[in-house]
Amino acid sequence: MTLTRRSLMATAALGTAMLALPAGRVFGKTAPLARPIPSSGEQIPSIGLGSWITFNVGDDTALQAECTAVMAAFFAGGGRMIDSSPMYGSSQAVIGRGLATLGRPDTLFSAEKVWTSSGTNGPAQIEQTRRLWGVERFDLLQVHNLAGWEAHLDTLFAMKAAGRLRYVGITTSEGRRHDLVEQIMQRHPLDFVQLSYNPVDRDAEQRLLPLAAERGIAVIVNRPFQQGALTRRLDGEPLPQWAAEVGATSWAQLILKFILAEPAVTVVIPATTRVDHVRENLAAAGGALPDRDLRGRIAAHIGAL
Amino acid sequence: MSEWWTYRLDDFLLFSPRVYWRLFEAQNAALWPLHLATTLAGLVLVLVILRWPGRAMLWTGLLLGPVWALVGWSFLLQRYAGINWAVAYAAPAFFVQALLLLAAALVPGGPLMGRLDAIANTGLGLALAGLLLYPALPFVTGRPLAGAEMFGIAPDPTVLVTIGLLLMARGRWLAVLLPIPLLWCLFSGLTLLAMGEAQAWPMLATSMLAAVLGALRLRRRAP
Ligand SMILES: NC(=O)c1ccc[n+]([C@@H]2O[C@H](COP(=O)([O-])OP(=O)(O)OC[C@H]3O[C@@H](n4cnc5c(N)ncnc54)[C@H](OP(=O)(O)O)[C@@H]3O)[C@@H](O)[C@H]2O)c1
């Protein structure tokens, strides 16, 4: 296996990050903004870590080390929630190896999904996923894209009642099936809902975000950077002067601050392959957040570019 | 899948191009210098087909069968399926193709190699391109040479060479021997397209070519 310059740097970063990782809790001066999960009151840092594509590196040991370095930097910076799914190829196994290498940080908040249209296959898939992560139980299990949602919700609520799961949720993305998401949010005692939201994808503002606030459902925001399409588009564009008003030093931070300024949002889960990006993303949850007026300017400015 | 019309091709891409291209570097490092043997065997086979077409199908099946099994196992199952679960379902088709190629070589009444008409010449060109030009793509794409895709080691050139050689043959067997390679070209071509790689086009073009020329070949089958 050939090593890349980035993977060598990642290994070095992993070393430093692990040294910086205390055995117990890592919250301190660097802890990012935390928000309560409405159904329990538990505080959760509002920047999480996604794993779609970025952590699907198969058996490539050099790239696995890069992923571990990203996770190490994430925990060192006070991050807790890592999100994955059986749909994401080798990501679950890569997370499991990374957690083992990092000595299974006890601050981890594991967010997984069940992804099969068959209700009967759900429990076996969840068990397989649990083994890949190497955790005793998951903090959160979500029905991925609502596939087989009725049967899976039965399973998940039963697991929660039996103490084998802490929170239950559902996911959607890119504005799909918001009608059904809304119905499920209204009828079932969900702890979490996951959806796409960013300055240019704002459908969720119409009904889902207000409903989540009203029903006390925590919101996880996926695709904050439109899978990188948004950050790539803005790359090279000058950051407006007024970004400094909220302490944003990059487009990525300005986007994350825009999202976090929405009070219904609990956690945003950008995915990355880079240690510098995970740090930059965590830092976005520190300092001021834009007010209504500034949010309007951010959305208008980014939308026009 | 519900609301399938809202999905784009790249929504189905599970991995980054960087991870994909590194698969070939790992595969090459693991199997080197088998590449030399597979390429040489491929070139010798082309010579045999041209010089002694009578028994050439036997050698074609005896070379291509094991090569399909090798690529299916060592690349699709051992590497590619790790980042793309859809490939775990495609790999058995490689083993089926391996058996079909062996069967076509060994059973009486299998396909026959013969006169070089326009279709066979196109097939010859395709086989040579798969053997010699495809591995040279890094010189055009700027990717590391260590990740060159070669016949008998990586699926795409193996499939291109197979389609090329099959187009040099005649007989009903083509109807069972061409579909799997053709479908792979389509699958791989669409994957490369989703990755935004120009390399998608030779694969997609070959799937079209195989469909059209294969159909023509079957229609003009010798009585
Ligand atoms: N239906 C569902 O349940 C669903 C659907 C979609 C997503 N999700 C979840 O949500 C997570 C996030 O969504 P996503 O991965 O699709 O997209 P995303 O987080 O919007 O974008 C990821 C991309 O952004 C880039 N990036 C990250 N931080 C950056 C920074 N500071 N500056 C510049 N670029 C940066 C990354 O590139 P680098 O590697 O170069 O940093 C990566 O390619 C997923 O990983 C997944 O866990 C769930």
Domain containing B198: what range? 14-217
- Interface A-B, measured as beta-carbon pairs within 8 A, has a size of 53
Q: What pLDDT does B39 receive? A: 98
Domain contains B2: no
Query: Which string of b and e fits B171-193 if b means at least 16 CB within 10 Å?
Result: bebbeebbbbbbbbbbbbbbbbb
Question: The tokens of B39 are what?
Answer: 């390429």
The C-alpha of B170 sits at a distance from chain A's nearest C-alpha, in angstroms, of: 41
Domain contains B6: no
Domain containing A165: what range? 37-304
Q: What pLDDT does B103 receive? A: 97
Domain contains B71: yes
CA torsion, points A211, B5, B82, A16, in degrees to nearest 10?
-40
The C-alpha of A90 sits at a distance from chain B's nearest C-alpha, in angstroms, of: 6
Q: Is the pLDDT of residue A247 over 50?
A: yes
Q: What pLDDT does A8 receive? A: 57
Domain contains B9: no
Model pLDDT for residues A59-108, shown as the tens digit of each residue: 999 999 999 999 999 999 999 999 999 999 999 999 999 999 999 999 99
CA B108/CA B127 separation, integer angstroms: 25
CA B223/CA B213 separation, integer angstroms: 18
Model pLDDT for residues A152-195, shown as the tens digit of each residue: 999 999 999 999 999 999 999 999 999 999 999 999 999 999 99
CA distances (Å), origin A151, targets A6, A120, A188: 44, 8, 13
Question: The tokens of B9 are what?
Answer: 């091709």
pLDDT averaged over every residue in chain A:
92
Q: Do the chains contact at A53 and B13, CB–CB below 8 Å?
A: yes
Residues (pLDDT < 50) of chain B are 1, 223
Residue A89 Cβ inside 6 Å of ligand 1? The answer reads no
The C-alpha of A287 sits at a distance from chain B's nearest C-alpha, in angstroms, of: 33
What percent of chain A has pLDDT above 70?
A: 90
CA torsion, points A182, A183, A187, A189, in degrees to nearest 10?
-30
Domain contains A229: yes
Q: What pLDDT does A31 receive? A: 61
Q: Which residues of A touch B84 (CB under 8 A)?
A: 89
- As for how many domains chain B has, the answer is 1
Q: What pLDDT does A221 receive? A: 98
Q: What pLDDT does A13 receive? A: 53
CA angle, residues A46, A47, A49, in degrees to nearest 5: 135
Domain contains B103: yes
Domain contains A86: yes
Residue A282 CA from chain centroid, whole number: 11
Q: What pLDDT does B223 receive? A: 45
Domain contains A16: no
Residue A198 Cβ inside 6 Å of ligand 1? The answer reads no
Side chain identity at A160, as an amino acid letter?
K
Q: What pLDDT does B51 receive? A: 95
SS3 B68: helix
Prediction ipTM score: 0.91
Q: What pLDDT does A4 receive? A: 58
Question: The tokens of B193 are what?
Answer: 């397209």
Domain contains B161: yes
Domain contains B5: no
Q: If contacts are CB pairs under 8 Å, which of residues 52-91 in chain A contact chain B?
A: 53-54, 56-60, 63, 87-90
Domain contains A24: no
Domain contains A17: no
Residue A145 Cβ inside 6 Å of ligand 1? The answer reads yes
We report the CATH number of the domain holding residue A205 as 3.20.20.100
Domain contains A2: no
Q: Is the pLDDT of residue A23 over 60?
A: no
Q: Which residues of A touch B2 (CB under 8 A)?
A: 177
CA A195/CA A181 separation, integer angstroms: 9
